[in-house]
Structure 1
Amino acid sequence: MKNLLLAVCTSFLFLACDKVKMDVKTTKSEEWKPVDSATATKAWMDFATPGEMHKMLAKSDGAWSGANTMWMENGGKPMTSTSEVSNKMIFDGRYQVSEHKGNFMGMPFEGMSITGYDNAKKKFVSNWIDNMGTGIMNMEGEWNASSKSIEFKGKMTDPARPGRDCDIREVFTFVDDNTQKLEMYGPDSKTGKEFKTMEIKFTRNK
């Protein structure tokens, strides 16, 4: 029944997209190319079906404790804190929701991310929101099998420079089944050069 419903939905989306008039200028490489309904339906089925990367994410489900280290500027004094994280796969194993709770400079901190693996892009995708901002951070990441890590790259709002974003980078390493490490990099406020802004070592609660 699920497959039938998905096939009907994807066929509808294909027909709907085919009828849309795109009022934009495109280059030759971006020109719309017609796709037959059978090919489109199979592509949507492949796109919607969780795979090995989703199973890998699911192994992180559960409760974790974080040991956090942050730097406000390159070479600055590190600030340490602790946090608690709860991971849970949703939508039949397609995405993982992570809820973070802790403290930052004596203030309560809450954050949430949604991470998935985009079968069409062959990349991990992630976004982040928290109670210390009003923007949404979006990133895409490549899997590195040799280091068992995902390197995410993206943009986030730079509140000190209104109307502008800044480049960010994260390296998330699956050390083992019970240990993970997140390293975040961003621009130094004085020089604009990249430096490590945060490191979190996650340990699975037993």
Structure 2
Amino acid sequence: MKKITTTLAFVMLCFISCKKDVKTEDTAAETDSIKTEEPVVEEPVDSAAQAKAWQEYATPGNEHKLMAAETGTWNCDMTFWYEPNAKPEKASSVANVKMILGGRYQEANYSGTIMGAPFEGKSTLGYNNASKEFTTTFIDNMGTGIMVAIGKYDENAKKIEFKGEAVNPVNGKKTPYREIYTIVDDNTRKAEMFDVKNGTEYKSMEIVMKRK
């Protein structure tokens, strides 16, 4: 029995040794096949310059004043197109807009009725001083996803064109969408949403907001 046990132990040791050799060879081959990227070398920045950069990043500017100008209550006339060339459906809501976190971000809370059902939604809007871009998010009680889009402001046209992706709950796939937000005048805003179906973009929503 002892002899059998010794023999089995010897066989196992040989097996483990062979496995280690194969693994070492495979690892070496994988290492050779993987191309390592050159590390990004950042230029040294003194503490004063770092402090100045972070201060500028955290300080609200003209774009934040633009958002703050929308503080108040707005009546929203909403139009939906659920398919390309479909008959439009109407809805309405009220938006309460305010600035939060020291005037750095805008928050809007929506309430109304869509297709006979109570509707609640919340949006946030921010301007990143570093990237020079606006970012918007939207959530509501008619889904479980968060819509996120990024865009830049066209001063001449008084518009922001946002681009993002949304998940189609029917097939679970991500599809691109586009939003054009227009400052019509001091008391009027317009948001237009464009979705993609079968590779073609179509207008799926329009909201005209009037300040109360």
Where on the TM-score scale, by shorter chain, does this alignment land: which range? 0.7 to 0.9
Distance 2:37 2:182 in 1: 38
Task: Report what 1:141 is aligned to.
Answer: 151
Shift of 1:32: 4.3
Aligned to 2:210: 203
- Between Structure 1 and Structure 2, the one with more helix by share is 2
Identity of aligned residues (%): 46
**Secondary structure at 2:193 match in 1:** strand
The TM-score with structure 2 as length reference comes to 0.79
For 1:31-180, list aligned pairs within 5 A: 31-33=40-42, 34-162=44-172, 164-180=173-189
Q: Contact 2:109 / 2:121 at 8 angstroms: preserved in 1?
A: yes
- Render the CA deviation track for 1:138-166: whole Å, top value 9, x for unaligned: 1111101111011111112221222x311
Matched residues in 1 for 2:154 and 2:194: separation?
18
Alpha-carbon distance in structure 2 between the residues aligned to 1:43 and 1:81: 45
Q: CA deviation at 1:26?
A: 8.0
CA distance in 2, matches of 1:32, 1:126: 32
Take 2:147 and 2:206, find their aligned partners in 1: how far apart are those partners? 17
Measured at CA, do residues 45 and 198 of structure 1 come closer, stay the same or move farther in structure 2, by a change above 3 Å?
A: same
Q: Distance in 1 between matches of 2:57 and 2:169?
A: 36
Partner Cα distance (1:27, 1:184) in 2: 40
Deviations 1:116-143 (A, max 9, x none): 1100010111111110111111111110
Tell me how far 1:27 sits from its aligned partner: 4.9
Aligned-partner SS, 1:161: coil
TM-aligned CA deviation for residue 37 of structure 1: 2.4
Unaligned stretches of 5+ residues in structure 1? 1-24
- Native 8 Å contact 2:168 2:175 kept in 1: yes
The answer for the alignment partner of 1:184 in structure 2 is 193
> CA separation of 1:101/1:38 partners in 2, compared to 1, >3 Å: closer, same or farther?
same
The separation in 2 between residues aligned to 1:134 and 1:141, in whole angstroms, is: 23
Cα distance, 1:43 vs. partner?
Answer: 1.2
Cα distance in 2 for partners of 1:137, 1:153 equals 10
Q: CA RMSD in A?
A: 1.6
- Whole-angstrom distance in 1 between the partners of 2:163 and 2:129: 18
SS of equivalent to 1:203: strand
Q: Structure 1 runs of 4+ off > 3 angstroms?
A: 25-28
Unaligned runs of at least 5 residues, structure 2: 1-34
Report the Cα distance in structure 2 between the residues aligned to 1:93 and 1:192, rounded to whole angstroms: 40
Task: Name the CA shift for 1:27/1:123 in 2 (closer, same or farther; >3 Å).
Answer: farther
Bigger Rg, structure 1 or 2: 2
Return the offset for 1:35.
3.3
Whole-angstrom distance in 2 between the partners of 1:110 and 1:35: 47
User: What is the deviation of 1:110?
Assistant: 0.7
Q: Letter of the aligned partner of 2:142 in structure 1?
A: M
